[in-house]
Amino acid sequence: MKQQDTPSPLPLENIKVLELGQLIAGPYCGQVLADFGADVVKVEPPGKGDAMRQWGEADRVSGDPLWWNVIGRNKQSLTLDLRQPRGQDVLRQLATHADVIIENFRPGTMERWGLSYQELSRHNPKLVMVRVTGFGQDGPYATRAGFASVCEAMGGLRYLSGYPDRPPVRVGISIGDTLAGLHAALGTMMALHQRERSGQGQVVDSSIFESVLAMMENLIPEYARAGKVRERSGSFLPKIAPSNAYPARDGRDVIIGANQDTVFRRLCEAMGQPRLADHPDYATHRARGENQQTIDDLVAAWTQQHDASHIVDILAKAGVPAGLVYRAPDMLDDPHFQARESIVEVPDRHGHPLPMQNVFPRLSSTPGSIRSVGPALGEHTHTVLTDWLAFSTDTLDALRTDNVI
């Protein structure tokens, strides 16, 4: 892992973003934009800031929670009380200079504060407002609280996660939030591109439940046209074989995906059983789907004779997709991760190197970069209000005295 150099230029470095959201969904959108150079100013409540500053495991040395370093990276922190009329007025002034506003409050909150898109775009017609919520800006559930766990369930993911003989399980991360943030970032780029043609901004409405629903492949058509309700299947996908986790001799599992005809043939050859590829029960995709359990048993009988790493080496040479189930230490030790700098070390606020995932996707000419970890609360309040709005020292002191900033 090397500390990442800052590339120049960055693709979004002329885009100004105000991030009003908290927790994960809205801020992840801001993280993506900031990673590629957008000037993202995170607006936080004075005194306490985003709750993400307190989430996750703490650093063993400093005691600081670690997650904030990632989701707050490359951003500036401005404290501003949006519940106070004077704070709302400052936000209106900032919005006249912004290209994008990200918010993930419940629908109606911005309107109650006098910060609706209609109000803000009246003074800045080019403004793009990105609204990230659980259930979207309209519909009968719009005003419901919408955490990722609930929206993942309603979007179809929770029902499919786990094994058929036990209740559904949750994926071990807040995938619904990050999917909504990723869709929000995608929508932001589309809206900015359209603005180049029309000169007008618009609203991007990204909901968590629909962001999960978008990942559900052919689940809806399968039910509507084939009467099939997809069920939990554990570590494999029904009718896709062989593609599963297989036990190795040393107790580890190996993930093997060899369901394509030509790849299955290569697997059979690597297993020393080339005739299996021509057997009528296994020769085609549909045939293998009908005989999925038998195939999995055959592959498992072979993998149990070898250590996991040896299996991966054999199959890599044979051109069969295979890999181990990685944890964080495996990722840090892996030579491919190291060669691609998939994980980089960034100085934390105390100057100590902190490893974290790099910026993705990679752009060949103008890649994103990590320039800083999550900022201290209010670290850039003076700078932003001075640079964006030319506030005087007296004005800043008055706002600070009244706990507006």
Residue at 123: amino acid letter:
H
Residue 226 tokens read as 């084939």
Give whole-number Cα distances, 7 to 3, 354, 369, in Å. 12, 19, 7
E-strand stretches of 259-367: 322-324, 343-347, 353-357
Can you say whether the dihedral through the CA atoms of 7, 11, 12, 14 is positive or negative? positive
Residue 101 tokens read as 């506003």
Are 152 and 170 in contact by the 8 Å Cβ rule? The answer is: yes
Sequence-distant (6+) residues with CB within 8 A of 55 are 65, 67, 68
Sequence-distant (6+) residues with CB within 8 A of 328 are none
Are 308 and 250 in contact by the 8 Å Cβ rule? The answer is: yes
Catalytic residue among 35, 39, 177, 205: 177
Residue 294: strand pairing partners: none
177 in active site? yes
Are 10 and 92 in contact by the 8 Å Cβ rule? The answer is: no
Number of residues in the chain:
405
Q: What is the dihedral of CA 319, 323, 328, 333, to 10 degrees?
A: -50
Residue 39: strand pairing partners: 16
Instruction: Compute how many other C-beta atoms are within 10 angstroms of the C-beta atom of residue 383.
Output: 12
Q: Is 42 helix (H, G, I), strand (E, B) or coil?
A: strand
CA neighbor of 40 nearest in space, from 26, 53, 59, 61: 26
Distance CA(388)–CA(92), nearest Å, equals 12
First to last CA, the chain: 38
Relative orientation angle of helices 85-95 and 381-389, to the nearest 10 degrees: 60
Q: Which residues are catalytic?
A: 177
